[in-house]
Amino acid sequence: MAFGNYKEVMALKAKDNAITGVAQDGGVVTALLCYALDQGVIDGAIVAGKSDTPWLPKPVVATTKEEIIAAAGTKYTISPNMAAIKTAVREYGLDKVALVGTPCQIYAARKMQLYPFGARHVGDKIALTIGIFCTENFSYAGLKTIIEDHCKVPVESVKKMEIGKGKFSVKAAKDVAIPIKETHKYEQDGDHVCTDLTAEFADIATGSIGTPDGWSTTFTRTTKGSDLMKKAIAAGVFETKQMSEFAAPMGLAMLEKLENGKKDKAKKHAAERQALGLYVTPGILY
Amino acid sequence: MAKPKIAYVHLSGCTGCLVSLADTYEKLLDILGAVDMVYNLTLADQRELPEGKIDISIVEGSVCLQDEHSVHLIKEAREKSGLVVALGGCAATGCVCNFCRGGQANQPQHESFVPINKLVKVDAYIPGCPPAPEVIYNFCIAAVTGDMDYLKPFMAGEVGGYHCGCDLNTKVIQNSLCMGCGTCASSCPTRAIDMEFGRPSFNNIRCVKCGACAAACPRMFLPVEQIQKKLMV
Ligand SMILES: Cc1cc2nc3c(=O)[nH]c(=O)nc-3n(C[C@H](O)[C@H](O)[C@H](O)COP(=O)(O)OP(=O)(O)OC[C@H]3O[C@@H](n4cnc5c(N)ncnc54)[C@H](O)[C@@H]3O)c2cc1C
Ligand code: SF4
Ligand code: SF4
Ligand code: SF4
């Protein structure tokens, strides 16, 4: 089945201007976290916050709306969010932690819920998982090379970066867009056996593909995710649209095409690695 | 069906693994209710492994080769048991006992402490120092209910026999599988792992060789079907 298991799929845009002003797409992640915090569904969230190095994210345990909003926006490099899960539970004493992450980080959280090795009383504190779609990620040095050598702007001048419509674009000292092809060689190689584009194991998964700028394609996958989203929508957190408003080749048709592409590529890469005698994670291809 | 007979065998361990089992709070009663605990020196007055067949021996601690009684006990447990489970880093990988060098009063000759698989065949490993209570609980319930899908990763070859942070190097990083999630850093009880630019960096002096990080890494094994079945509801 395309896009993994899900209950609903819809197009969403947060209504709060303070959020849409800083969010990457429809602000679904940030608005939903703020709502969940308000409602006491969570008492904190692990997000990709800012560090002292420009565009190098740092996993942050956010316990206020201000901290959640300060971490909005996509950083196209690795933020090891799972590294902060024990900190959230032990040092912050949180009972209901939300984790935001790429599909692979959602797997990690799910594995920890079932097999909490070295995670005493931690796995059961993961109260909500919000997955963001992901085609690939870059190392920090890779991202910096793309920005400084290919886009030819200083990394500290970047205000926003985006991947879409076949381009890598930055809003910076000047606005630049380069063909995505130029960035491929900087992709993190661990991504090449990843079959998950739409965060198939999150409670709620969201991304930009399939909806116009400023909107997010959003799946609710579990009862928990679906209930929370229904309440948030009823409380007026989001503007909503049906995905059917965005007809092929846009909308879900486009998402499905890209998803299939990612799965096929991962299978091909895994076969090549196995032919070389390398280890490939059991269970990773599906 | 008769309740499985369980022996808790305490070798060179610190009892932290048993405390961790008790740390499942009221769920401990589920475990104790589901089994017949025939031997457990900490909790009951049975002095020797009982005669006859034992279904599962859960072993805490490593074996001191210079302590005849320990060597005998692990051999006897193996002979009598259907399954032998290495509980915790010391039994599974040697853990802190890897650093023993002897030379201390009043048994200066007690020098070589080995994971139990050095002497006997081990059927399942539960790494960690100590292993998380929830892992022990899940393992026990799966063993009693015969949930083989859940148990499979504990068998030799999946989480079994891992040793230290270096396993992440040889199995994950060297196979180009690391994607920088940071789970290993969270699982480490001694904070021997820092994430540097999205990759684990190991402090080998801090690592106590408990095996938790490798077992936790989602690129070591990924229980997709279990996640699907048990969590995506
Ligand atoms: C590496 C990467 C690749 C992506 N690729 C795609 C893609 O191919 N197609 C697609 O549709 N969407 C992709 N996305 C997701 C997209 O960029 C947005 O993050 C998503 O649509 C959420 O938008 P929003 O407005 O709801 O989120 P916001 O409200 O802006 O919140 C974004 C949240 O993501 C967190 N975050 C930011 N960077 C990271 C990171 N590196 N790791 C973990 N968490 C992070 C932030 O802390 C914040 O909580 C990717 C995201 C990342 C990080
Ligand atoms: S492509 Fe897959 S492995 Fe790589 S960052 Fe994205 S979700 Fe993780
Ligand atoms: S790095 Fe940490 S978790 Fe891994 S084996 Fe060493 S002590 Fe255990
Ligand atoms: S747990 Fe995550 S960061 Fe650590 S080695 Fe595995 S994939 Fe890499």
| pLDDT per residue as tens digits for the range B9-68 | 999 999 999 999 999 888 888 888 889 999 999 999 999 999 999 999 999 999 999 999
Average pLDDT over residues B111-122: 95
What does the alpha-carbon distance between residue B102 and residue B110 come to, in Å, rounded to a whole number? 5
- Res A53: pLDDT: 96
Average pLDDT over residues A57-78: 98
Q: How confident is the model at residue A282 (pLDDT cuts 50, 70, 90)?
A: confident
What does the alpha-carbon distance between residue A9 and residue A25 come to, in Å, rounded to a whole number? 16
- Residue A204 in any domain: the answer is yes
Instruction: Please check the confidence at residue A36 and state whether its pLDDT lies above 70.
Output: yes
- Residue A286 in any domain: the answer is no
- Residue A130 in any domain: the answer is yes
Task: Catalogue all structural domains in chain B, each as residue range(s) with its CATH number.
Answer: 5-159 (3.40.50.700), 163-232 (3.30.70.20)
Q: Are residues A125 and A23 in the same domain?
A: yes
Burial bucket for residue B169 (CB in 10 Å: 0-12, 13-18, 19+): middle
B172 CA → ligand 1 middle, Å: 25
Tokens coding A239: 């503007």
Q: Are residues A222 and A176 in the same domain?
A: no
Domain boundary pick from A161, A186, A211: A186
Give the residue numbers spanning the domain of A181: 138-186
CATH number for the domain that contains residue A172: 3.10.450.750
- Residue A282 in any domain: the answer is no
- Residue A71 in any domain: the answer is yes
Q: Are residues A132 and A271 in the same domain?
A: yes
Q: Are residues A146 and A217 in the same domain?
A: no
What does the alpha-carbon distance between residue B204 and residue B188 come to, in Å, rounded to a whole number? 12
Instruction: Please check the confidence at residue B232 and state whether its pLDDT lies above 90.
Output: yes
| Cβ separation A81–B219 shorter than 8 A | no
Q: Chain A partners of B222 at a C-beta cutoff of 8 Å?
A: 107, 111, 281-284
What does the alpha-carbon distance between residue A2 and residue B146 come to, in Å, rounded to a whole number? 32
Domain boundary pick from A186, A219, A253: A186
Beta-bridge mates of residue A220: A8, A204
| Cβ separation A222–B231 shorter than 8 A | yes
Alpha helices in chain A (DSSP H): 17-20, 28-38, 65-70, 85-90, 103-114, 140-145, 223-234, 251-275
- Res A149: pLDDT: 97
Q: Are residues A126 and A156 in the same domain?
A: no
Q: How confident is the model at residue B157 (pLDDT cuts 50, 70, 90)?
A: low
Q: Are residues A113 and A226 in the same domain?
A: yes
Instruction: Round the average pLDDT of chain B to a whole number and report it.
Output: 93
pLDDT tens track for B22-38: 998 888 888 888 899 99
Average pLDDT over residues A182-200: 97
Average pLDDT over residues B147-167: 79
Count up the domains in chain A and report the number.
2
Handedness of CA B222, B225, B231, B233 (dihedral sign): positive
pLDDT tens track for A81-97: 999 999 999 999 999 99
Q: Are residues A63 and A165 in the same domain?
A: no
- Res B1: pLDDT: 64
Closest partner CB to B212 (pick from A78, A107, A117): A117
| Cβ separation B183–A273 shorter than 8 A | no
Higher per-residue confidence, A212 vs B2: A212
Nearest CA residue ID for atom 2, ligand 4:
B181
Q: Is the CB of B92 under 6 A from ligand 3?
A: no
What does the alpha-carbon distance between residue A103 and residue B222 come to, in Å, rounded to a whole number? 13
Asked whether the beta carbons of B138 and B222 are under 8 A apart, the reply is no
Domain boundary pick from A186, A213, A248: A186
Higher per-residue confidence, A282 vs A89: A89
- Res A248: pLDDT: 80
pLDDT tens track for A112-153: 999 999 999 999 999 999 999 999 999 999 999 999 999 999
- Res B160: pLDDT: 58
- Res B32: pLDDT: 87
Instruction: Please check the confidence at residue B75 and state whether its pLDDT lies above 90.
Output: yes
Tokens coding A236: 């007026």
Q: How confident is the model at residue B165 (pLDDT cuts 50, 70, 90)?
A: confident
Q: Are residues A208 and A72 in the same domain?
A: yes
Q: Are residues A12 and A129 in the same domain?
A: yes
- Residue A17 in any domain: the answer is yes
Instruction: Round the average pLDDT of chain A to a whole number and report it.
Output: 96
- Residue A285 in any domain: the answer is no
Q: Are residues A120 and A238 in the same domain?
A: yes
What is the position in ligand 4's atom list of the atom closest to the CA of B199?
Answer: 3
Instruction: Please check the confidence at residue A196 and state whether its pLDDT lies above 90.
Output: yes
Return all residues near A113 (Cβ < 8 A) that are at least 6 apart.
A123, A124, A126, B231
Q: Are residues A77 and A37 in the same domain?
A: yes
Q: Are residues A154 and A251 in the same domain?
A: no
Q: How would you classify the pairing of strands B193-196 and B199-202?
A: antiparallel
CA angle B29, B33, B37 (to 5 degrees): 105
- Residue A3 in any domain: the answer is no
Instruction: Please check the confidence at residue B95 and state whether its pLDDT lies above 80.
Output: yes
ipTM, 2 dp: 0.96
- Res B24: pLDDT: 86
- Res A283: pLDDT: 85
Average pLDDT over residues A224-248: 96
* CA distances in angstroms from B7 to B57, B72, B191, listed in the order given: 5, 15, 33
